[in-house]
Chain A
Amino acid sequence: MKENVKLLIWQGIASVGLILALIFAFALPAFFLTGGERVITTFEMLANAHGDGVASGGMVFGLILLFVGLLSSLAIVVLLILKINKPLITMILGIVSGLSSLASGLLLGLGYFVSGLSETNPIIGFNQGEIGFMAGTFLVLGFAVVGFICSYPAALIVLHHKDLADKGVVLEEAKN
């Protein structure tokens, strides 16, 4: 399989992962509270109308990074589809995509964690019932990590080419 096709597949998966992370962040509740029969969404935590801002500040930044990561990833996909073969640009976008995805996943995941722990925190815990994490908490982090891992090939493309070149030199030396 051609290198560009492989890259496209990896980066395509990364993009889908990041899109899903973004959708899940807004569509899925992060916690539930049985006492009040309520679920808590990222959106609510972000609004920070009631909280101390500790979690939400980081989460807002996490979402921004998630956008950046997704845009970088999509840019690589577009470049590859258009067959614009610029390894340096691909590498830079891959690094941005990978690091942004990881950082956003961490920030959002830890944001959920901190908010979720604080069952009595006014952001989420208006009452002390039984609190539990819901799918949103795990899926956002999980798919952000997918975005990170799948950005590796693009981020390492230049290095990969150098490795191949080195390998060629070694083979050449071996032949000689």
Chain B
Amino acid sequence: MKRTTAVINFSTIIMLASLLTVATKVAMDNALMIDSFLTKQTINVDEHEMEELRAQGKELAQKIVEDGSVLLKNQDNVLPLKSKRVNIFGWCASDNGFLYQGGGSSEGGYSADKISLYQAFRDVGYEINEQLASDYNRLGYRREGAPDQNQHSTYYRTYDAGEDFFTEARMSQARNFSDTAIMVFSRRATEGDDLPKVNYDESGNPDASRNYLSLSKKEAIMVKHVTNNFDKVICLFNSSAPMEMGFVDYPKIDAAMYIGYPGYYGTTAVAKLLCGENGANPSGHLSDTAAYDLRTAPSFVNTGLDATKTYKERGGRYTDYAEDIYVGYKWYETADAEGYYDDVGLDIYKKERRGYDAIVQYPFGYGQSYTTFKHTFEGLYKGDTKVSATTPIDKNDTLTARVYVENTGNVAGKDAVQLYFTPPYTKGGIEKSAVNLLEFRKTEKLEPGKTQIFNIDFKVSDLASYDAYDKNNNGFMGYEVESGNYVISLRTDSHHVSVVNNAKQEEKFTLNSGFTYDKDTTTGAEVKNRFTTYSNSTSGASSTIHEPQATYAISIDGNDSNSSYNQGITYLTRADFAGTFPKSTEIRRMDSTMYNNVFRVHDPFNDPNDTMPVTGSTSTSLTLNDVKGLPYDDPKWEQLVSQLDINTMAELIAHGGFGTNAIPSINKPRCTDSDGGTGFTSGVVSGDGGHAVKYPAANVLANTFDIKLAELWGHAIGNEGKALGIQGWYAPGCNVHRSPLGGRNFEYFSEDGKMCGYFVAYTVKGCTENGVYAYAKHFAGNDSDEGRNGQFKWMTEQSLREIWAKPGELAVKIGGANAFMISVDRVGSVRATGSYALLTSLLRDEWGFHGSTITDYYQAGDTNDIDEGIRAGNDLCLHPGLSRTVFADNGNWSATTVKYIKNSVHNILFTYIDTVHRTETSTGVSQGEAQIGEMTEDNQSGWWRPLLTGVDIGAGVLLAGWATVTVLFTWVLKRKKVTA
């Protein structure tokens, strides 16, 4: 054999051996994933019952859109439409253009369920211009691309017809068809991104003079032609957040409605609203502020692709929440109160606006109706006593606002009751918004002339602000209600106080001395700074961040006396809005000290004083049924968890993606946890057999201002869970609309932390009391998605408590949340999943949370670490392919690790059985009887391991033989031949 042949043989042998070795290694490393891939899930379900549940869900979805669509403008009462012949303009209305839902983990559902916008109009009895619809469908655009930073120019393209489309022939045909034209504007949003600050055309060319939520050039062409040709012009906004809608002020645009992402069934409700079918009447109110120009928001420069900076030298991304507490309307109202916009003018269509009116087009809470309402603030009561300016008020008092809402129009309708408060502010003191949402309610459908009375309770402590720096120098860091004048106002939106007979509907009282709250008013637990390292040189008050799992923790605001850690961030302050309005952040540097002590994951801390906890105990034989309904800290829990062996417990924690393991010895079944911020997506078998309902976006639900609908939504999710064999839900979203550019605003409820909190709480309550536990996500500070995954989020503790973590707090205190998904980013410098301050000190110790927490999709490296996590208070890894090997001391368990593993297992089991208990208590039906559908898994993965082993052995033998033959024929026999 020639040497060339020998080399070919040997290199091929080496190549094949390498290939087999690497492939085997990869396969074994991903064995659980392969098993999961090969396991078919089927649902045994009573199809009739399932169809009934789905029908209920669809009905609820339509109700949410009917109550959550916001009528922005209705000039000359052009709506409801008198004629049902309409032209629908805009590619965004077409079958490929209309958006039903946001992207990412919420994306999914049974696409055949979709009711297109055109079809919805047909279904409701409209006659639409079919020629025009067909022309738009034939434009052939298709939304493409994927959500990632390098595909913004593809994913966020705006498509519409150009000048050529609007020929005289086409417009003439449309004019002859109807004098009414509806224009539709859609904008994508997705997990993994924030919206771009440029506007891409259909070819991906950027227009830097507009952002993605601005009108595109081609849309402007459409607006020009449509307004020139039709008498009645209506705009529909199909986006995750209010767009820049200044053009709606144009007098030739008669009406406008924000419909958000309506889910697969909501389009019918939109069509009904436009014509008032069956008494449909818009009653939605904006859960976000709609500004003329997004750049006026202080969060703008620190949002989006250009705002998530990467540290020089050692990487790691960061975002500065430099706007502090001035988010959404809290900024615009406070800026107005401080006269910040007094000199600003805006001339739109020859109608000049000044000050606030030149900045904000539609305030938070704004929404019109086909009828009119009178809102009367009858009075503020302390018990039976009407509060006057001098009524003594105690720190623990509950006050009651008595409000009347009367339908003064001609048709039945609903309205939102919005109660706000204005606290006293001292320049340089505690940061306070001039206007704060205190409470809100939704009326029933009121017939003309009918009135509904509301008695709205709130606690004096609800008026408190969090003083993280002892800014008023009273020696106290915590919640405070300062002395001074308080105004409780009944408003139609955040800016406009209701007026009746020329009288503003507001009540005032004065506190002569302030109150401090060193105990949580719900749990009685100690309240103190958990995240801030600060010393007030005047008062002497000081605090230090406590993060025992971190080698070094920087104060959450980024201020540190050591230059290696100090971020030097200037936060917006009411004392000097002009001087502190956030500017584009300079790129900072991460030196080796910060990299090693803060950024990296370190070895897990083990306490040498820990003694090995009991595991695998046989002294008791309890099951989950024995602890059902018992308090979290009942001694039986310790006995139950001690029965489990360490490997079972470690696997339960590690293999926590999209479900948790069964533990037959204690009667814990396998649980299926489904993703989907607007209804189940994962874990749902596709096709007719088990698809779930695709609900409208969360902000559409919030726009209803109706927390009863949130509870109904949660309840409906529970019903679906029972039918589909799903026990857990990765939702609802508990983050906040920090900016309209937020990529996942459609999963989150509002720009107001309290409003988010109410909706999260009641959604959680609804499903947890109906068989499905909800991992409210992503606690906390995951309010933007651009550059996520371990990103540093710098903020003040005041803003964390008052805004970013507020939804989580209310979910626990009102909704009884027993599960959370934790942010994939950092809270300040500390991984949220490794933050003891967040997950133990605040969530559990202060707010009284009992239950389990799970990572977002588990990522190794410097993003997640389960050893750190269980010690800090994170209980589960969201990954379907991990095993106990993820623990650093797997197989050689330390006493400390076992202690925390037992704690996490306790939390995981508590979440499950607490949900069962609450469901049974609430419904009176046992969990076993309530379960309609049963998820069965047909595990067909048994064959591949033996096959791979066989292939490895067979190939090994063959390759060895091949090598032997090559050696023989190349050298040994050849030498013999030569010798011979």
Contacts and interface: CB of A to CB of B under 8 A. Distances in A.
B681 A128 contact: yes
Contact of B148 (A50, A102, A126, A130): A50
Interface string B82-109: 0000000000000000000001110111
Contact of A120 (B18, B103, B149, B880): B880
A52 B880 CA distance: 13
Given A35-B686, A117-B34, A152-B8, A53 B859 contact: yes
Contacts of A50: 147-148, 191-192, 789, 857
B684 interface: yes
B880 A43 contact: no
B148 A159 contact: no
A28 interface: no
A135 interface: no
Contact of A118 (B2, B146, B787, B881): B881
Contacts of A44: 146, 148, 151
Contacts of A106: 18-19, 22
A162 interface: yes
A117 B37 contact: yes
B2 A163 contact: yes
Most chain B CB within 10 A, of A41, A114, A119, A128, is at: A128
Interface string B142-165: 000011111100000000000000
A131 B15 CA distance: 30
Contacts of B2: 163, 167
Contacts of B686: 34-35, 129-130
Nearest to B15: A102
A113 interface: yes
B868 interface: no
Contact of B860 (A36, A54, A156, A160): A54
Nearest to A110: B26
B859 A52 contact: yes
A87 interface: no
Contact of B8 (A102, A127, A156): A156
Interface string A37-52: 1101101101111111
Given A127-B675, A128-B658, A156-B7, A47 B150 contact: yes
Interface in B1-41: 2-4, 7-8, 11, 15, 18-19, 22-23, 26, 30, 33-34, 36-37
Nearest to B193: A49
A43 B150 contact: yes
Contacts of A51: 859
A114 B146 contact: no
B690 to A, nearest CB: 12
Contacts of A128: 108, 658, 675, 681-684
Interface string A83-118: 000000000000000000010001000100110011
B681 A119 contact: no
Interface string B665-692: 0000000000110000111101000000
B483 interface: no
A122 B26 contact: no
A122 B682 CA distance: 12
Given A114-B26, A159-B3, A159-B4, A49 B33 contact: no
Contact of A126 (B26, B34, B104): B104
B657 interface: yes
B3 A49 contact: no
Nearest to B682: A128
A50 B860 CA distance: 13
A110 B504 CA distance: 69
A4 interface: no
B111 interface: yes
Contacts of B7: 156, 159
A126 B103 contact: yes
A47 B145 CA distance: 12
B108 A114 contact: no
A47 B34 contact: no
B883 to A, nearest CB: 15
Contacts of A167: 2
A163 B974 CA distance: 13
A120 B33 CA distance: 9
B756 to A, nearest CB: 23
A118 B26 contact: no
A36 B108 contact: yes
Contacts of B109: 35
Contacts of B108: 35-36, 126-129
Interface in A39-82: 40-41, 43-44, 46-54
Contacts of B3: 159, 162-163, 166
A50 to B, nearest CB: 5
B861 interface: yes
Nearest to B878: A120
B976 to A, nearest CB: 15
Contacts of B880: 118, 120
A94 B857 CA distance: 43
Most chain A CB within 10 A, of B4, B105, B682, B684, is at: B4
A118 B37 CA distance: 8
A120 B657 CA distance: 9
Interface of B: 2-4, 7-8, 11, 15, 18-19, 22-23, 26, 30, 33-34, 36-37, 103-105, 107-109, 111, 146-151, 191-193, 657-658, 675-676, 681-684, 686, 787, 789, 857-861, 863, 880-881
7 contacts: A34-B686, A38-B107, A40-B146, A50-B192, A52-B859, A117-B881, A120-B658
Given A47-B150, A159-B3, 8 more contacts: A35-B108, A36-B108, A43-B151, A44-B146, A49-B148, A117-B881, A126-B681, A128-B675
8 closest A-B pairs (Cβ-Cβ)? A127-B108, A47-B148, A49-B148, A128-B682, A52-B859, A44-B146, A127-B681, A117-B33
